[in-house]
A and B are shown apart, each in its own frame.
Chain A
Amino acid sequence: MLRRRRATQRGEANPPSPSGCGGRLPSPASLLLGVSLWIRRRRRSWDPAAWHSQRGSREVAKPALNTQTDWRFVIRTREGFSDPDARKLKEDIADLGIQGVEKVSIVQVYYVGGVLTSQELQQIGEKLLVDSIVQEYEVEAVHPEPPVRPSTGSGRTGESKDFIHSQVVEVAYHPGVRDPVEDSLKKGALDLGIAGLRQVHTAKEYAFAGSLPAEQLTRICDRLLVNATVQQIVTPENLERLLNPPAGSPLSIETVHLMQASDTVLQRVSIDHQLSLNLEEMRAIQAYFRTQKREPTLIELETLAQTWSEHCKHKTLRGPIQYTEEIDGKIQKRTIQNLLKSTIMRATEELNRHGCLSVFEDNSGVIEFDEEFAVCFKVETHNHPSALEPFGGASTGVGGVIRDILGTGLGAKPIASTDVFCFAPPDFPAEKVPPGVLHPRRVIKGVVAGVKDYGNKMGIPTVNGAVLFDDRFVGNPLVYCGNVGLIPKDKVTKQVSPGMQIVLAGGRTGRDGVHGATFSSLALTTESEVVSATAVQIGDPITEKKLADALLLARDQGLFSAVTDCGAGGLSSAVGEMAADSGAKVFLERVPLKYTGLTPAEIWISESQERMVLAVAPADLDRLLNLFREHGVEATAVGEFTDSGWLELFHAGISVGKLEMDFLHGGVPQILRPARWSPPGLKEPEIPVPSDLADCLLKSLSRWETCSKEWIIRQYDHEVQGGSSLKPLVGVANQGPSDAAVVRPRLDSPRGVVLSNGINFRYGDIDPYWMALLAVEEALRQIVAVGGSLESVAILDNFCWGDPTRPEVLGSLVRAAQGCYDAAKAFGVPFISGKDSLHNEYRVGEKVIPIPGTLLISAIGIVADAARLVSMDAKKAGSRLYLVGSTKPELGGSSYYASLGFLGASVPQVDLAQSPLLMSAVSRAIGQGLAVSAHDCSEGGLAVAAAEMAFAGGLGLTLELEKVPRPTTLTREDFILFSESPTRFLLEVPEEKSADFERALAGFPLGKIGQFQKEPVFRVIGLGGQSVIDVAVEVLQEAWQAPFKGW
């Protein structure tokens, strides 16, 4: 038996770490050696006759009886059955350049504590934990300090001989990081009639056979097995803490002395309590409490910090800005009162378009779908958590944006997801990865796995996305998670009235995610993974799925009148926002907790996932609570809305916080921030004319951002719910890159929702104004390319920028926002929601790696009849290929320049007068059935788009560059092929429809540039009439598919 120890120090309740250095991976070799030694000793310490329980001999012995004991189950794959995870790990080890590992095995470990009989242990092993066809198990009691026997004897029983001299590492989560499997195992035990199971912890044991020096094993642990933010290598010491976590501190109401504090003290208070409040804000708080004639409690400071955080308040985009622009020596200055209102929201207001049912008010933007229903759309970012723990960060990002949809109106049903990422390239040199940062390969795999896990388990098709790469994302990747919901039109509005109960539903509250909102408003540093261990969580999609199912049933029964999600800032933000116009009383001791020992402040600001807050009329409360209970969802009335204008917090009958709503929401001081933009003074590079254009094309197709993302797409269930009507992969072999995705949310209707996105930070390196226009234009272009029209389209903005206190960073953001306004007005598409994530940079000592300012535009539209859409794959030999739109020498920021190591200056420009008209004409032509396939020209220009059409359709193509509509000055073949001029479409038109098609596009730049053929060759005839590219289509496709092959 392990000794039970209770600590009372608050500090001890934090996730402990093996070597006492706060969550970081302990120093290497000695510890690892210790671990493997310890585990083997432990093995030998028990007497097989009495202790071991192999299949066949099922006597599990002694310590069971009436006291709680911890047991260790190990589950391994039977000989003769493959273990794909072990195989992949072995490949990953080889990828690290580590030789000598002959065999890898992975064993699943469960620590099970409780009062259990030997029979019950046997049942748990046989009926619950193993799949008897492919797995076997062992169980043993956990011993704290195993006696060491003379070191003769063989390896462990039942294992292959290869492993006798193997090295063993066991990895578990830190205490407090909850693995959802733990609850499932308890539920499964109850189904077997076993009631004595108290606690479960999961771990994985990795064994490596072969010669593996200690420092290589450390590298494997560091790079592949352990993420120190959430995981640890199991040692005797931390195992005891895992199985018997020390209790937290008893209730204390901490008062913070501010009234007499100097500026230095104010700043220190902000730092010490991770408030992320600046001096002006601390002063405003000090002034407020001076008027109240008392000191604030910590919980009050936390509440203000959450509410005033950049994450919740968007104080930069909504605050005053002094903007200076200097172009060609001309200086213009102006003061912007509220950037969002004066650009993005203003465009929406001025467009005043029919069908926008809720904009910038709710958790997502809502537009009309059909007579009965509306659709809502939201895209969020989860960058910082994903940098530290890619799987957990991305999965909770998906979970969070789904709750935005569930928390829109009276709750919408999630119907589709979109996910866009920016990473450092997978081949980023390992030695250049800054300390404290995970290698991009691991970030990519983790993020994709996280999105997959949450989205697939929620049963929401992930149908659209994009992935971009740049070295600057190495310490701070971008993870945008978007979700679309379907909601009855009469459920779009919500209302909170005094007297209504505040109901918290869903997952339990733990210490996880404490300070997530304030954390996301800080830059990442090498220390982030130490200070922010609690800011990262593991998602629990099944809890959210249950919550979603029950919530929508309760909605349809009219059992609540308002709902919102518990996201950043937790209850503090959710209740604070819902009660902004009224008031609220919350009784924190009623909040169901994952474990004891949370302080009232922690309960109040915890960002534990999978929780929603509802406003419920007292008369409906019992029915609502019953309905949730029946669906296995915990729901609790934790307070009530009042008309006091005050937020009042209690714990066990004691008032722990009291703040005026007016101050909470209106008290944040406005800070005039300087912003400056001037052109970066870039030059066009001098590039020699390439001798081999085929080679240029192959290289373009193999670029990380252009190449096939099939590895990612297929891991997402993009067809669940049955509505997928235009899939992300199309063509003769289901492998071509579709433009926009279309889902039909009502299976009995041909009506569809079309989704797309536009993003390219390289244009922003030249001019953020054009980046914004191009992002909007790209998103719309993709919708048009599948046959959608712009009339019903609405868009979202997502700004990911660096530190806005730097004038040049804020200046570029201002310029991008202006581009957003101009684009929305010109195309007539309103913004309906948006989000900004600032402070995206990574600090190593004094050196700062800021991300490039990156704007994502996500577009949603309605198509009346999905059966009239077209896909991008070429359909038929003999049909003509038309290029609509002018190709200009605009290669600044292009993929072609980037592949040669240049940025350039000639950023593509959108013709705001012609572009909308051209899009309408193309959309109409497709609607009339004049084109059988269509594809837009984006990264890699005409050459890449045409090649994609050809290989997706399994056809050859002959192109004539002379026919490409362009200014006469453009005479370089490489520029014609790879220019990224916007608003260009490639359309495949059957010969017999050519005349009608040309009439439909009359007045626009139009060229009949080629013809598809059976002969599977991609041929380009140069300006001189000679063939400049002649490559087998298959070769092009292989180049395009190569980069992620074998991942």
Chain B
Amino acid sequence: MSSSATSPPESSESVTRKSSKKKRPWRYYNILLHRYQGYLFLGTTVVYAISGLAVNHMEDWNPNYSQQRQTQTLAPLADPENLTPAEGAALYSAFGIGQSFNPENVFYPDEHLIDILIASDEKIRINTQTWQAEHERTVRRPVLHLFNFLHLNNAKKAWTLYADIYAIALLLMALSGLLMKSGRKGVWGEAGLWTLAGMVVPLGLILLYYR
């Protein structure tokens, strides 16, 4: 039996569907690429954008840690290089530290300073000239620290590979966005004008600052 005798004849509708599937223009795949990359890398883009804002203003604030400081004036210590347990307890009490005086370490950074390291994130610095003591607690910013850790590639290793993939994806997203404009002029029309307009400010700033 011939195959034409066993298989049902194709309807004109399914033939049209098949042929239209084959004839999909490259712009269709361009839109798919743009769309699905957008979905896939949305989370990473949020991380990089928020961290970018945070680290851009590093001169004005600490994007990774918040530091809580309080200052007290102390009575001069009898022997600054040998704090007694009673002096230590009084010092802790002055700053409301509710634990017994058992610091991780005591350092003498220079002639007039004593650093009492309570924990890696908490210390008291005493100036033996002014007898001013500063208690400093460093608290990691919960979300931003993580975002900056990723954005600045502090992890290195496999994150470098992921960041490379993301960079390529960004490039493809930009190019596929540019090529998305249909019409007679395509990229040479409105899309091109917007692209050029977007380059004006960066170019101006380059001319202004780049030496």
Verify that A and B bind, or say they do not.
no
